[in-house]
Amino acid sequence: MALVPMRVLLDAAAKGTYAVGAYNVNNMEQIQAIMAAARETRSPVIIQASRGALKYTNFTYLRHLMLAAVEENPDIPVTMHLDHGNSLETCKMAIGLGFTSVMIDGSLKEDSKTPTTFNENLEVTRSVVDYAHPLGVSVEAELGTLGGIEDGVGSGTVHLTDPDQAVEFVKLANVDALAVAIGTSHGAYKFKEEPRLALELVAEINSRIPDTALVMHGSSSVPQELVDMVNRYGGRMPNARGVPISAIQSVIPHGVRKVNVDTDGRLVVTAAIRKVFAETPEKFDPRDYLGPARTALTVLVAQKMRDFGTAGHAGEIKQKSLGDMVEFYRKKGII
Protein backbone atom coordinates (compact mmCIF):
# COMPACT_ATOMS: atom_id res chain seq x y z
CA MET A 1 0.00 0.00 0.00
CA ALA A 2 1.31 3.42 -0.92
CA LEU A 3 1.31 6.46 1.34
CA VAL A 4 -2.20 7.40 2.43
CA PRO A 5 -3.65 10.69 3.65
CA MET A 6 -4.21 10.76 7.40
CA ARG A 7 -7.97 11.24 6.99
CA VAL A 8 -8.14 7.68 5.61
CA LEU A 9 -6.56 6.21 8.74
CA LEU A 10 -8.63 8.32 11.12
CA ASP A 11 -11.93 7.50 9.42
CA ALA A 12 -11.10 3.79 9.65
CA ALA A 13 -10.16 4.24 13.31
CA ALA A 14 -13.53 5.88 13.95
CA LYS A 15 -15.32 2.88 12.48
CA GLY A 16 -13.25 0.50 14.57
CA THR A 17 -13.21 2.67 17.74
CA TYR A 18 -9.44 2.71 18.15
CA ALA A 19 -6.68 5.30 17.96
CA VAL A 20 -3.68 5.45 15.63
CA GLY A 21 -0.34 6.28 17.18
CA ALA A 22 1.63 9.13 15.63
CA TYR A 23 5.32 8.58 16.32
CA ASN A 24 7.93 11.32 16.00
CA VAL A 25 11.12 10.49 14.13
CA ASN A 26 14.52 12.08 13.60
CA ASN A 27 16.66 9.28 12.16
CA MET A 28 16.76 5.94 10.37
CA GLU A 29 16.75 3.72 13.45
CA GLN A 30 13.58 5.30 14.81
CA ILE A 31 11.77 4.85 11.51
CA GLN A 32 12.92 1.24 11.22
CA ALA A 33 11.78 0.49 14.78
CA ILE A 34 8.33 1.99 14.24
CA MET A 35 7.82 0.06 11.03
CA ALA A 36 9.03 -3.18 12.62
CA ALA A 37 6.43 -2.67 15.34
CA ALA A 38 3.74 -1.95 12.73
CA ARG A 39 4.62 -5.17 10.89
CA GLU A 40 4.63 -7.20 14.09
CA THR A 41 1.23 -5.92 15.21
CA ARG A 42 -0.31 -5.41 11.75
CA SER A 43 -1.03 -1.77 12.52
CA PRO A 44 -1.59 1.31 10.38
CA VAL A 45 0.82 4.01 11.45
CA ILE A 46 1.44 7.76 11.33
CA ILE A 47 5.10 8.71 11.09
CA GLN A 48 5.47 12.36 11.96
CA ALA A 49 8.28 14.87 11.88
CA SER A 50 8.50 18.23 13.58
CA ARG A 51 10.06 21.26 11.97
CA GLY A 52 13.07 20.66 14.23
CA ALA A 53 13.43 17.09 12.99
CA LEU A 54 13.23 18.15 9.35
CA LYS A 55 15.84 20.86 9.92
CA TYR A 56 18.11 18.41 11.78
CA THR A 57 18.12 16.07 8.78
CA ASN A 58 18.35 18.85 6.18
CA PHE A 59 14.77 18.14 5.14
CA THR A 60 15.46 15.80 2.21
CA TYR A 61 17.15 13.02 4.19
CA LEU A 62 14.19 12.41 6.48
CA ARG A 63 11.78 12.49 3.56
CA HIS A 64 13.65 9.71 1.79
CA LEU A 65 13.92 7.64 4.97
CA MET A 66 10.15 7.84 5.36
CA LEU A 67 9.63 6.88 1.72
CA ALA A 68 11.99 3.94 2.20
CA ALA A 69 9.77 2.76 5.06
CA VAL A 70 6.76 2.83 2.75
CA GLU A 71 8.63 1.01 -0.01
CA GLU A 72 9.80 -1.74 2.35
CA ASN A 73 6.35 -2.22 3.87
CA PRO A 74 3.85 -2.21 1.00
CA ASP A 75 1.14 -3.88 3.09
CA ILE A 76 1.24 -1.34 5.96
CA PRO A 77 -0.82 1.86 5.58
CA VAL A 78 1.51 4.78 6.37
CA THR A 79 0.84 8.50 6.69
CA MET A 80 3.66 11.05 6.56
CA HIS A 81 2.60 13.88 8.87
CA LEU A 82 4.06 17.28 9.76
CA ASP A 83 3.87 17.86 13.51
CA HIS A 84 3.30 21.41 14.80
CA GLY A 85 3.62 23.38 11.61
CA ASN A 86 3.81 27.05 12.57
CA SER A 87 2.75 28.74 9.34
CA LEU A 88 1.24 28.26 5.91
CA GLU A 89 4.72 28.35 4.40
CA THR A 90 5.95 25.55 6.66
CA CYS A 91 2.96 23.41 5.68
CA LYS A 92 3.54 24.16 1.99
CA MET A 93 7.15 23.00 2.40
CA ALA A 94 6.05 19.70 3.97
CA ILE A 95 3.45 19.10 1.27
CA GLY A 96 6.10 19.81 -1.34
CA LEU A 97 8.27 17.12 0.29
CA GLY A 98 5.47 14.59 -0.17
CA PHE A 99 3.81 14.66 3.25
CA THR A 100 0.23 13.43 3.04
CA SER A 101 -0.88 15.26 6.17
CA VAL A 102 0.06 18.44 8.02
CA MET A 103 -0.67 19.97 11.39
CA ILE A 104 -1.00 23.71 11.58
CA ASP A 105 -0.63 24.75 15.20
CA GLY A 106 -2.47 28.05 15.03
CA SER A 107 -2.92 28.03 18.80
CA LEU A 108 0.52 29.67 18.91
CA LYS A 109 2.08 32.43 16.84
CA GLU A 110 4.90 31.64 14.41
CA ASP A 111 7.39 31.75 17.29
CA SER A 112 5.62 28.59 18.59
CA LYS A 113 5.52 30.16 22.05
CA THR A 114 3.01 33.01 22.12
CA PRO A 115 -0.69 32.04 22.33
CA THR A 116 -3.00 33.40 19.62
CA THR A 117 -6.58 34.57 19.71
CA PHE A 118 -9.38 32.39 18.36
CA ASN A 119 -9.61 34.50 15.19
CA GLU A 120 -5.85 34.43 14.60
CA ASN A 121 -5.87 30.66 14.94
CA LEU A 122 -8.84 30.33 12.61
CA GLU A 123 -7.27 32.58 9.97
CA VAL A 124 -4.00 30.66 9.66
CA THR A 125 -5.73 27.28 9.92
CA ARG A 126 -8.19 28.19 7.19
CA SER A 127 -5.32 29.29 4.93
CA VAL A 128 -3.69 25.86 5.32
CA VAL A 129 -6.97 24.02 4.71
CA ASP A 130 -7.59 26.09 1.58
CA TYR A 131 -4.15 25.12 0.28
CA ALA A 132 -4.01 21.48 1.40
CA HIS A 133 -7.48 20.07 0.69
CA PRO A 134 -7.42 20.83 -3.06
CA LEU A 135 -4.27 18.67 -3.09
CA GLY A 136 -5.91 15.87 -1.08
CA VAL A 137 -3.71 16.49 1.97
CA SER A 138 -5.23 16.08 5.44
CA VAL A 139 -5.09 18.91 7.99
CA GLU A 140 -4.91 18.77 11.78
CA ALA A 141 -5.37 21.89 13.90
CA GLU A 142 -5.13 22.70 17.60
CA LEU A 143 -7.49 24.67 19.83
CA GLY A 144 -6.37 25.53 23.33
CA THR A 145 -2.78 25.26 24.56
CA LEU A 146 -0.81 22.51 26.27
CA GLY A 147 1.67 22.88 29.08
CA GLY A 148 5.36 22.20 28.75
CA ILE A 149 7.81 22.88 25.94
CA GLU A 150 9.29 20.27 23.61
CA ASP A 151 11.33 20.69 20.46
CA GLY A 152 10.94 24.44 20.88
CA VAL A 153 7.14 24.25 20.80
CA GLY A 154 4.92 25.37 23.67
CA SER A 155 3.75 28.41 25.60
CA GLY A 156 4.41 26.73 28.95
CA THR A 157 0.82 27.42 30.04
CA VAL A 158 -2.38 25.37 29.81
CA HIS A 159 -5.56 26.74 28.28
CA LEU A 160 -8.25 24.08 28.06
CA THR A 161 -10.28 23.73 24.87
CA ASP A 162 -13.71 25.35 25.05
CA PRO A 163 -16.37 23.01 23.57
CA ASP A 164 -18.40 25.89 22.13
CA GLN A 165 -15.32 27.25 20.40
CA ALA A 166 -14.46 23.78 19.14
CA VAL A 167 -17.84 23.53 17.39
CA GLU A 168 -17.44 26.94 15.78
CA PHE A 169 -13.81 26.35 14.83
CA VAL A 170 -14.45 23.04 13.08
CA LYS A 171 -17.47 24.42 11.26
CA LEU A 172 -15.50 27.37 9.91
CA ALA A 173 -12.14 25.67 9.30
CA ASN A 174 -13.22 22.25 7.94
CA VAL A 175 -10.21 20.49 9.47
CA ASP A 176 -9.87 16.72 9.43
CA ALA A 177 -8.66 16.45 13.02
CA LEU A 178 -8.58 18.68 16.07
CA ALA A 179 -6.00 18.49 18.84
CA VAL A 180 -7.70 19.37 22.12
CA ALA A 181 -6.16 20.65 25.34
CA ILE A 182 -7.34 18.72 28.39
CA GLY A 183 -4.42 19.32 30.73
CA THR A 184 -1.74 17.20 29.07
CA SER A 185 1.73 18.62 28.57
CA HIS A 186 4.72 18.28 26.28
CA GLY A 187 7.97 16.78 27.48
CA ALA A 188 9.02 14.36 30.22
CA TYR A 189 8.16 16.65 33.13
CA LYS A 190 4.45 16.99 32.52
CA PHE A 191 3.21 17.13 36.10
CA LYS A 192 4.57 17.99 39.56
CA GLU A 193 2.09 15.55 41.10
CA GLU A 194 -0.46 13.00 39.95
CA PRO A 195 -2.07 14.35 36.75
CA ARG A 196 -5.49 15.94 36.88
CA LEU A 197 -6.83 15.74 33.37
CA ALA A 198 -10.14 17.17 32.16
CA LEU A 199 -11.06 13.90 30.48
CA GLU A 200 -14.75 14.79 30.55
CA LEU A 201 -13.99 17.55 28.02
CA VAL A 202 -13.18 14.93 25.38
CA ALA A 203 -16.59 13.29 25.67
CA GLU A 204 -18.35 16.65 25.57
CA ILE A 205 -16.45 17.87 22.52
CA ASN A 206 -16.96 14.55 20.76
CA SER A 207 -20.72 14.72 21.39
CA ARG A 208 -20.78 18.15 19.75
CA ILE A 209 -18.55 17.36 16.74
CA PRO A 210 -18.79 13.56 16.39
CA ASP A 211 -17.50 13.50 12.80
CA THR A 212 -14.20 15.21 13.66
CA ALA A 213 -11.28 13.09 14.83
CA LEU A 214 -9.83 14.30 18.12
CA VAL A 215 -6.11 14.22 18.86
CA MET A 216 -4.15 13.93 22.10
CA HIS A 217 -0.83 15.76 22.22
CA GLY A 218 1.54 15.68 25.18
CA SER A 219 0.41 12.15 25.95
CA SER A 220 3.59 10.13 26.41
CA SER A 221 3.35 7.98 29.52
CA VAL A 222 6.98 8.45 30.66
CA PRO A 223 7.20 4.89 32.07
CA GLN A 224 8.93 4.86 35.46
CA GLU A 225 11.05 1.87 34.50
CA LEU A 226 12.56 3.84 31.62
CA VAL A 227 13.24 6.86 33.83
CA ASP A 228 14.87 4.55 36.38
CA MET A 229 17.00 2.97 33.68
CA VAL A 230 18.17 6.34 32.37
CA ASN A 231 19.09 7.42 35.90
CA ARG A 232 20.73 4.08 36.75
CA TYR A 233 23.17 4.51 33.89
CA GLY A 234 24.19 8.09 34.57
CA GLY A 235 21.16 10.16 33.61
CA ARG A 236 19.50 12.87 35.68
CA MET A 237 15.74 12.89 35.32
CA PRO A 238 14.17 13.56 38.73
CA ASN A 239 10.38 13.78 39.03
CA ALA A 240 9.62 12.89 35.40
CA ARG A 241 5.91 12.07 35.04
CA GLY A 242 3.61 11.25 32.14
CA VAL A 243 0.01 10.48 31.20
CA PRO A 244 -1.18 7.05 32.37
CA ILE A 245 -2.08 4.67 29.55
CA SER A 246 -5.41 4.06 31.31
CA ALA A 247 -6.29 7.76 30.90
CA ILE A 248 -5.61 7.61 27.17
CA GLN A 249 -7.58 4.41 26.78
CA SER A 250 -10.54 5.95 28.62
CA VAL A 251 -11.03 8.64 25.97
CA ILE A 252 -10.51 6.54 22.85
CA PRO A 253 -14.22 5.53 22.88
CA HIS A 254 -15.02 9.26 22.90
CA GLY A 255 -13.51 10.27 19.58
CA VAL A 256 -9.75 10.28 20.16
CA ARG A 257 -8.37 8.83 16.94
CA LYS A 258 -4.73 10.00 17.03
CA VAL A 259 -2.31 9.88 19.95
CA ASN A 260 1.10 11.54 19.67
CA VAL A 261 4.13 9.73 21.08
CA ASP A 262 7.52 11.45 21.18
CA THR A 263 9.00 11.61 24.69
CA ASP A 264 8.58 7.88 25.38
CA GLY A 265 10.52 7.11 22.22
CA ARG A 266 13.32 9.43 23.26
CA LEU A 267 13.43 7.85 26.71
CA VAL A 268 13.68 4.25 25.56
CA VAL A 269 16.39 5.07 23.02
CA THR A 270 18.40 7.03 25.58
CA ALA A 271 18.04 4.30 28.21
CA ALA A 272 19.25 1.61 25.80
CA ILE A 273 22.24 3.63 24.65
CA ARG A 274 23.26 4.58 28.19
CA LYS A 275 23.12 0.92 29.18
CA VAL A 276 25.51 -0.07 26.38
CA PHE A 277 27.94 2.73 27.24
CA ALA A 278 27.88 1.88 30.96
CA GLU A 279 28.19 -1.90 30.64
CA THR A 280 30.53 -2.09 27.64
CA PRO A 281 32.58 1.13 27.61
CA GLU A 282 34.98 -0.41 25.07
CA LYS A 283 32.26 -0.25 22.39
CA PHE A 284 32.69 2.49 19.80
CA ASP A 285 30.85 1.22 16.71
CA PRO A 286 27.55 3.18 16.45
CA ARG A 287 25.82 -0.04 15.42
CA ASP A 288 26.62 -1.49 18.83
CA TYR A 289 24.43 1.07 20.59
CA LEU A 290 22.00 2.20 17.91
CA GLY A 291 21.03 -1.42 17.22
CA PRO A 292 19.88 -2.11 20.81
CA ALA A 293 18.16 1.29 20.86
CA ARG A 294 16.24 0.34 17.72
CA THR A 295 15.21 -2.99 19.24
CA ALA A 296 14.05 -1.36 22.48
CA LEU A 297 12.01 1.21 20.57
CA THR A 298 10.36 -1.54 18.52
CA VAL A 299 9.17 -3.23 21.71
CA LEU A 300 7.82 0.03 23.13
CA VAL A 301 5.96 1.07 19.96
CA ALA A 302 4.45 -2.38 19.50
CA GLN A 303 3.02 -2.15 23.00
CA LYS A 304 1.61 1.32 22.26
CA MET A 305 -0.10 -0.08 19.19
CA ARG A 306 -1.72 -2.76 21.31
CA ASP A 307 -2.66 -0.26 24.02
CA PHE A 308 -4.29 2.13 21.54
CA GLY A 309 -6.21 -0.69 19.85
CA THR A 310 -4.41 -0.18 16.53
CA ALA A 311 -3.06 -3.72 16.34
CA GLY A 312 -4.61 -5.96 13.72
CA HIS A 313 -6.26 -3.25 11.65
CA ALA A 314 -3.69 -2.73 8.86
CA GLY A 315 -5.51 -5.05 6.47
CA GLU A 316 -8.80 -3.19 6.86
CA ILE A 317 -7.59 0.10 5.39
CA LYS A 318 -8.77 0.77 1.84
CA GLN A 319 -6.22 2.39 -0.40
CA LYS A 320 -7.04 6.02 -1.21
CA SER A 321 -4.72 8.38 -3.01
CA LEU A 322 -4.43 12.13 -2.68
CA GLY A 323 -6.50 12.33 -5.86
CA ASP A 324 -9.24 10.23 -4.27
CA MET A 325 -9.29 12.63 -1.33
CA VAL A 326 -9.63 15.62 -3.63
CA GLU A 327 -12.82 14.04 -4.95
CA PHE A 328 -13.91 13.29 -1.36
CA TYR A 329 -13.54 16.94 -0.34
CA ARG A 330 -15.27 18.08 -3.53
CA LYS A 331 -18.30 15.89 -2.84
CA LYS A 332 -18.50 17.26 0.71
CA GLY A 333 -18.50 20.79 -0.68
CA ILE A 334 -15.29 21.68 1.14
CA ILE A 335 -13.41 22.65 -2.03
- Domains within the chain, CATH numbers bracketed: 6-331 (3.20.20.70)
pLDDT of amino acid 195: 60
pTM (2 d.p.)? 0.93
What average pLDDT does range 112-141 have in this prediction? 96
Q: Is 278 helix (H, G, I), strand (E, B) or coil?
A: helix
pLDDT of amino acid 106: 96
Can you list the alpha helix ranges (DSSP code H) found in 42-150? Answer: 51-56, 60-72, 88-96, 118-132
pLDDT higher than threshold 90 for residue 136: yes
Are 262 and 81 spatial neighbours (Cβ–Cβ below 8 Å)?
A: no
Q: At a CB cut-off of 8 Å and minimum separation 6, what does 168 contact?
A: none
Are 243 and 252 spatial neighbours (Cβ–Cβ below 8 Å)?
A: no
Residues identified as active-site: 83
pLDDT of amino acid 155: 47
Task: Please report which confidence band the pLDDT of residue 302 belongs to, taking 50, 70 and 90 as the band edges.
Answer: very high
